[in-house]
Amino acid sequence: MVRSLLLALVLFGLWLLLSGHYTPLIIGFGILSSLLVAFICHRMDVADHEGFPIHLSSRALTYWPWLAWEIVKANIDVTRIILSPKLPISPTLFQVPSTQETELGHVVYANSITLTPGTVTVDIVDGMLEVHALTRGAADELENGRMDRKATAMEGLGGASKAGGTA
């Protein structure tokens, strides 16, 4: 219930930013439609910890900038490979363990891998992610497990204290 009300609040905030109209009538419509959508989501039971993971938002604020910087570094690596005349690629298919506890955590980790150029998550089998990497170096980088620990810390469950230490 609290989560649904929060959802309505977030939706209304988004609506305010997107609409740019601030007359009482229009704002009234905005409030009504946010509440209606939140109510429907509540009835459909999709405003849960997966559909509306607001509990992650504070940790996302530290995880996203870290991820963004990783993406920038990976982009520069891949750019260098593509522009190099010799095209020094060594495509590698490998598996990395995904130590997150929830499905949402697995998705966060898998999507972070895919979002980073040079590595794409192809499949997930029993808590192992199958990843295609453009070079052996990118594969080694992922196999050292730093991103896995960061994603687990971002999930913020049982392993948080352990992962927090290494992060």
Instruction: Using CB under 8 A, list all residues that contact other proteins.
Output: 14, 17-18, 20, 68, 71-72, 75, 78-79, 82-83, 87, 89-95, 110-112, 114-123, 130, 132, 134, 136, 139
Smallest gap, in angstroms, from Cβ of residue 98 to other proteins? 14
Smallest gap, in angstroms, from Cβ of residue 89 to other proteins? 6
Q: What is the CA radius of gyration of the chain?
A: 20
How many whole angstroms separate alpha carbon 95 and alpha carbon 112?
Answer: 15
Burial of 28 per CB tally in 10 Å (0-12, 13-18, 19+) = exposed
Residue 64 or 164 with smaller CB distance to other proteins: 64
Smallest gap, in angstroms, from Cβ of residue 1 to other proteins? 26
DSSP 98: -
Residue 14 or 164 with smaller CB distance to other proteins: 14
Helix (H, G, I), strand (E, B) or coil at 29: helix
Residue 103 or 123 with smaller CB distance to other proteins: 123
Smallest gap, in angstroms, from Cβ of residue 155 to other proteins? 17
How many whole angstroms separate alpha carbon 13 and alpha carbon 130?
Answer: 38
How many whole angstroms separate alpha carbon 20 and alpha carbon 94?
Answer: 48
Residue 35 or 71 with smaller CB distance to other proteins: 71
Smallest gap, in angstroms, from Cβ of residue 46 to other proteins? 16
Q: How far is CA 133 from CA 52, 66, 98, 106, in A?
A: 31, 20, 16, 18
Residue 34 or 121 with smaller CB distance to other proteins: 121
